Structures are given as structure tokens and as C-alpha cells.
Chains A and B, each alone.
Chain A
Amino acid sequence: MIRPVIPLVTAALLFGLGAYGVLRRRNAVLVLMSVELMLNAVNLVLVTGDTMRERVTGQVFALFVIVIAAAEVGVGLALVLRLFRLRQDINIDQVALDDEPRTGPPFAAPALADARSGAAAGAPTLDGEQA
């Protein structure tokens, strides 16, 4: 015998964490990660539902969600890289919807490990264009 409430509560907490992350995070990739957490919470609920009803419909839906998540990440990351190319930054607070590409040379110095990052010298960073 198992108690389905355990995975369900896990899923609820994961969903809450994901929602928190989406609202809290400023970095676009981190927002995407939080979205993944929420999607996973939903998957967990779907699979737990299967266990309670002894069917596989929930699993099928979970598979669909996983596939959609993969597609979403693909497009989302393409957007993020595009954004990084245009602005040298993926801070979503700084993106206005009618934003024009930043003028001037696209590779101004602060693109890499800049003062704000507070990273150790020589921290590995690359710019997107060269990849």
C-alpha cells in the first residue's frame, strides 16, 4: 500500500518553488529552469493519478508534457541566445517589448566576466556569437 498524498505534496511544493522561481529570477535561463520545475510537478501529479486509478492515461499525458517541454526549451533557448546576441545580457527585466538592438559595436567589453558578476578572474565565459 502506498499513500499517494506523498508524491502529491511533493508535486505541490515543487510547483510552488517553480512559481517562486519564475517570479523571483531575473536571468532568462533560470526562469526557464523554474518553468521546468513546474512542468515536472504537473507530471508527477499526472503519474500519481495513474497509480490511484490504475490506468495509463496520466502517463501518456506526462509523456506529452515532457515532449512539449523539450520543444519549449528549444525555442526558449533560441530566444535567449538571440537576446544575448542583441544585448550581451539575458536579464529579462531590461527587455522592453519594443526594444531596439543596442547600437554601437556589439562586443563592448562588459559582455564577459564583468565587474557585476563578482567572479574570480579568468572565470570561463564565452560570448554567444562565436559558438
Chain B
Amino acid sequence: MTLQDVLLSVVGLVAVAGGVAVVTTKQLVRAGLWLVVALGAVAVEFLLLGAEFAAWVQVLIYVGAVVVLLLFAVMLTRAPIGRSSDLDRPALPATLVGAASGLGLAALFVGVFGQFQVPAPAVGTAERIGDSVFGAWVLPFEVLSILLLAALVGAIVLSRPAAPAPQDASADAVAQGSSR
């Protein structure tokens, strides 16, 4: 075990512990905060693996934007302080699938890469990634931009209040329209 191994293990443990808390906590907003811990730990793993750029993108997009959006949504809907009792479904199928996929994959990785060692990566620069993105992967990149645009438009359309109800609509529709 080298120093990097130890750090990777510790940070990995933090990530897994955060993940466990996300899927088991009974408190809605705390789940979001634990998600910050898990995602932040993954970002640190990226750093340790030499993927500096990916790490900061992870922090910027995930911790800075995605989690904020999630927390925002949680608070906009229903976020009591303290435990909620109706968050979970029956445990058995989920446990089975989760344990099978997680432990199975883990066993597979251990079996294949168990004793595999690679030299510690140098800290990567943004330049190589830029070359790669705008060289080999420029077409997927452009497709991704279109996807983002479509998602943006879709989100706006979805969250827009419905058009005002016509005059002869039922009382129900009027009640809904007036409440907006």
C-alpha cells in the first residue's frame, strides 16, 4: 500500500459512507447534504487519480448546481425537519438488486484487477482533455450541446404554468387557473 492507496481507500470509504447515508436516511434534506459528501469524495478520488479537470467540473456541476437544484426541489415540495416515514418501499427487492449489482461488480473488479498496479498518474492538464474533446470527440460534443438545449427547452416547457383556462371551462379548471 502506498500513500495514494491509503488516501484512495479513505476517500473511497467516505464516498461509500455518504452514499449509504443518502439511500438510508429518513430525512429528506439530509439526504441531499449527504449527497454533497459522496459527490465531493468522488471529486477527491478524481484528483487522486490525476483527473484534475474532471474533479473541478464535478464540483462545479454536481456540488454547485445539481445538488443545489435537488435541494431547491426538495424545499419547494415538502421538506420537514426530522424524519419522514413514507420515504421507503419494501426493502427486500431493492436490497437484493443493490447488493447483487454492487457486490457482484466489486467481486468482479477484485477478481480482474486485484493485484494490478499502475504508476501513480501525473496531474493531468486541461490541455490534453481539450485536445481530446475538440479532436476525436467533437461530434459527440456537439450532439451533447443539442441535448442540453433540448433539455433546457423541455424543462422550461414542463415547468411553465398551463395556459389560462378558456372562459367556458369547468369550475375545476377555473379554480386551477386562478390559483396560479
* Residues of chain A whose beta carbon lies under 8 Å from any beta carbon of chain B: 1-27, 29-30, 32-34, 36-37, 40, 43-44, 47-48, 50-52, 54, 56-57, 59-60, 62-64, 66-75, 77-82, 84, 89-91, 93, 101, 103-107, 111-113, 116-120, 123-129, 131
* Residues of chain B whose beta carbon lies under 8 Å from any beta carbon of chain A: 1-2, 4-5, 8-9, 12, 15-16, 19-20, 22-23, 28, 31-32, 35, 38-39, 42, 45-46, 48-51, 53-54, 57-58, 61-62, 65-66, 69-70, 72-89, 91, 93-95, 97-106, 108-110, 113-121, 124, 128-129, 132-133, 136-137, 140-141, 144, 147-148, 151-152, 154-156, 158-159, 172, 175-176, 179-180
Q: Which of A20, A30, A73, A126 contacts B66 (CB 8 A)?
A: A73
Tell me whether A3 and B83 are in contact in the complex, defined as CB-CB below 8 angstroms, given that A13-B102, A73-B66 are known contacts.
no
Q: Chain A contacts of B121 at CB under 8 A?
A: 2, 50-51, 54
Closest to B149 in A: A71
**Is the beta-carbon distance between A117 and B80 smaller than 8 angstroms?**
yes
A86 to B35, CA, bound (A): 28
- Prevailing SS type, chain A contact patch: helix
Closest Cβ–Cβ distance, residue A124 to chain B (whole Å): 7
Q: Which 10 A-B pairs have the closest CB atoms?
A: A16-B102, A20-B98, A119-B80, A10-B12, A21-B23, A71-B151, A23-B94, A12-B105, A24-B94, A78-B158
